[in-house]
Amino acid sequence: MDAARADALAARDRLARGGWIARDAESFRHLPPPPAAVWLGDGPEAPGCEAHPLAGAGWTLHPVGRTPQGRVDARWLDAADAAQRAELFAGLPQPDDDDAAPFAWAHRALCRQGLRLRIGDEPGAGRSAGETVWLQLRHQPRSAVEAPLLVIDVQAGVHCVLVETHERAPLQCARSVVQNLQAHVHLGEGATLQHLRIARPGCSDRLAHHLSVRLARGAQYHQALIAAGSAYHLQRNVVDLTAERSAARLAGVLFAAGSTIEQQLRVSHRAPHTASSIEGLALAGGAARAVLDAHTGIAEGCDEADVRQRLAGIPTGGQPKLVLRPHLEILHDRVQAAHGATWGALPDEALFYVRQRGLDEARARALIIEGMAAAVLARGLGGPELLETLGVDALLCAAASGHLAPAAQTCYG
């Protein structure tokens, strides 16, 4: 038996011995995930169709408009080949013993392909300092049950703007997609990554995206997420601030109409003079279930750590279930920290003001949602200018209008 096959079987054995996520698991008690068989492709509904890479399936790289391109080294690797699998998983940690660990073991058992990106020159080349790299990374499903892997290494001193999109592509069979994505991001000393993530699955798809971020001294990670609901949709971010003066900003806008979606945000401060900000906006209509779950921990010795959390939920029609869970765990005194959550309908005053400009109620509501969503995302990326450059305004306009359309109440976003 080759090493790749043995590793996949060992992951299945570890999952079988450890069991799947318990229904009383703290991180998943509001929106339990489907059973392990779904993510492993073992269920009776699992089809055997594949989409050809030449049709745009899998990971593809694209330029962002006419922006200048820096150096990007990309390696598409086959996890079924022992040597390529070793390269693909090189340097990645074993799954932690936490609530989400079963997802990671299921991923190792099923992973077939992955992409490793090195952005900027290696240390010592002398060209990375001050370099800006603009990059668009698209992923479309290759099969009905898949476990893609993405590893991103941003070299020291590099500034990168990355647009990552996940959208439904037609498969050779008309089945729903099950996707268990694991992504690992490492920022070198003084590096900055402005990361726009867009995830718009099909109505019956089941997705779990797990993003792990490690930052070296002085590195900054800024993320803005636009995500739509589906049969099951999880976005989980784990950020480790283990070096001084590292900082992370995470902002997300969730659209759910008659569907389910959950965003879990975990940030750990383990060094002095670190900073983090979490902001989430969940828009839910019909019989949707939407969860925003944020947890920030500050370890002992983290002098002058600065932490902010702000979660908001807005029901846009019907009888949705919205859960907002801000949480701080502070084990040190010399810090600044604040958190809060608000829940409520769109403000009547704002609707009245917009209606006075001659717009009907549907367009007025969509316009207010667009403005609120754009403000959240701009704070995540560090300003509105980048949103305009990346064309996010048009995307939010379509998302808000689609979310409020009557037909959307039976589908997503």
Distances (CA, A) of 192 to 132, 182, 183, 247, 386: 9, 21, 17, 10, 14
Mean pLDDT by 10 residues, the chain (413 residues): 84 92 90 95 59 66 73 94 95 89 96 95 60 90 93 96 84 75 98 97 95 98 97 98 97 95 98 97 95 97 96 93 96 93 81 72 84 94 89 89 68 53
DSSP structure class, residue 409: G
Residues near 164 by beta carbon (within 8 Å), at least 6 away in sequence = 136, 137, 138, 139, 195, 196, 197, 198
Report field, pTM of the whole predicted structure over 0.75: yes
pLDDT computed for residue 124 by the predictor: 58
DSSP for 235-249, please give it. EEEEEEE-STT-EEE
Copy the structure tokens of residue 333.
Answer: 């005194």
pLDDT computed for residue 412 by the predictor: 46
pLDDT computed for residue 3 by the predictor: 79
